[in-house]
Amino acid sequence: MGEDFRRQKTVTGAHGEFRFLKDYSPPVTTFIYSNKVATIIWGETPTAFVIESKEAAEGYRNYFELMWNVAKK
């Protein structure tokens, strides 16, 4: 999440740990679960798609870990 999300109610009232990246606010949300990757593009008309692939899920998890370690609490 970008720094601009830090004070939003959805973050301040949520349970869990959040980290933020400076100058990064993509209009895309990605969920990784099991061997699936769900992507939501938040445009005027939101669009979502799911990829079912063990390799894709592992790749996205690795990318998440990289970004998580770079982001700030």
| Residue ranges per structural domain of the chain | 3-70
pLDDT band at 2 (very low <50, low <70, confident <90, very high): very low
Q: Find how far residue 31's CA is from the centre of its chain.
A: 6
Six-digit token string for 66: 């990289």
pLDDT digits (tens, 9 = 90+) for 24-54: 777 888 899 999 999 999 889 999 999 999 9
Query: Could you tell me the pTM of the whole model?
Result: 0.68
Q: How far apart are CA 72 and CA 41, in angstroms?
A: 24
The predicted pLDDT at position 16 comes to: 67
Q: Which long-range contacts (CB under 8 A, 24 or more apart) does 59-63 make?
A: 60/30, 60/32, 61/32
